[in-house]
Amino acid sequence: MIRRGYISITETLLVTGVLTIACTPPGAGTTETGSSPDTDGTPGESSGAAGSDGGADGSGGGGPGEGGGPAGDGLPCDVDAILAASCRSCHGVTPLGNMISLLSRADLLADSPTVPNATIGQRAVSRMQDATTPMPPAPALPVAESDIAVVADWVAAGMPAGDCTTDPAPSPFDAESMCTSNRMWQGCGESDRMKPGEACIDCHNNGDNSGDCEDDNGPFFLLAGTVYPTGHEPDSCYGFAGAVVEVTDASRQTLKLSTNEAGNFYLEAEDAPPGFAAPYYVKVVYDGKELAMATEVTDGDCNTCHTADGDQDAPGRIVLPWQ
């Protein structure tokens, strides 16, 4: 059903599972949206695992910082591969929020700042095995039992040294401010591609149309935001098309929202399944990788926190998974 340049939800599934996730959303299940051609605006030309011990147990503690060596340094290759697949989207070279790096053997041998007589490696295994507050948190996929066993056996053996040093992918939050797509919204009027990077719900739902070409509000959104390739892209810059934002609500209903040509995704209130409500759990999925929020969110206006510089502890923009 196309309406005023927007496409509605087409499918919804209920799912079950353990959910745990503060100013931006993470899911498990399925509903999809797409984008229709922009008929009103004309843009001008000008793109999770162990928490943190300061996170590995999700309870804060040691602050963020660089890892104790390059990715894989001192690790067996099988352990390194598991951490790369399940942990380093948050616990990478530049950890997100109040987290730690899980790059090297030195990182895992370090003492937990929150649990006496425990190492980060021991806490990482404990959180992977925790059914109540698992790491990675939903909506990220849990670590497979066989993979947990590999890490647990290595930790139990005293974390003997291996040699699997790799060059980690650079964090998108380390990039300079830029408009990767080289396209800026310069339109006038209502469009699903309008004003990427700006607070969609604040404008649509609260009547903040200052600077617009018309006075009436657009559709009423429950969720909206923009996905970018890098972490500090400016307002009105086109983001990344073709990513999927999976959102799971408090009742474990999950929707899949596709990003359009401008990188925008959205859920109109009238298209939401019955009872779809906060808190939300969100992850971005692209190219076989996923990046999940580590905390639940109650505000669906994602770009309010995910600004170019980041607000309320957000590191910057909503970005594609990169590890």
pLDDT per residue of the chain (323 residues) written in tens, 0 to 9: 233 333 223 223 322 222 222 333 333 333 344 333 333 333 333 323 333 344 444 333 333 344 445 555 789 999 988 988 888 878 877 677 678 888 889 999 999 988 999 999 999 999 999 988 888 887 777 899 999 999 999 999 999 998 876 666 788 999 999 999 999 999 777 889 999 999 988 887 766 554 454 545 678 899 999 999 999 999 999 999 999 999 999 888 999 999 999 999 999 999 999 999 999 989 899 988 888 887 788 999 999 999 999 998 899 999 998 87
Which residue in 153, 169, 156 sits closest to 88, CA to CA? 169
Residues 193 and 149 in one domain: no
| DSSP 8-state class, residue 67 | -
Q: Are residues 14 and 59 in the same domain?
A: no
Position 72 scores a pLDDT of 52
Are 258 and 132 members of one domain? Answer: no
Domain span at residue 216?
Answer: 1-45+182-323
> What confidence score (pLDDT) does residue 41 get?
34
Specify if 87 maps to a domain.
yes
User: Does a structural domain hold residue 171?
Assistant: no
Whether residues 199 and 282 share a domain: the answer is yes
Written as one string, the DSSP assignment of 81-102 is HHHHHHTTTTSSSS--SS----
What integer pLDDT is reported at residue 313 of this predicted model? 85
Q: How far is CA 155 from CA 17, 109, 121, 122, 124, in A?
A: 28, 9, 6, 7, 10
* Residue 197 sits in the same domain as residue 321: yes
Q: Looking at the structure, tell me whether residues 80 and 37 fall in a common domain.
A: no
Q: Output helix, strand, coil percentages for the chain, rounded to the nearest 5.
A: 15, 20, 65
Residue among 104, 85, 27, 20 at smallest CA distance from 283: 27
Residue 152 counted as domain residue = yes
The answer to whether 89 and 321 have CB atoms below 8 angstroms apart is yes
Shared domain check, 32 and 63: no
Q: Note whether residue 58 is domain-resident.
A: yes
CA distance 298 to 267: 15
What pTM value is reported for the model?
Answer: 0.59
Assigned domain for 211 exists: yes
Residues pairing with 183 in the sheet? 45
Domain for residue 38, yes or no? yes
Neighbour tally for 206: CB within 10 Å: 11
- Give the total number of structural domains in the chain: 2
* 139 and 228, same domain (yes or no): no
The answer to whether residues 226 and 305 belong to one domain is yes
CA dist., res. 257 & res. 33, Å (int): 5
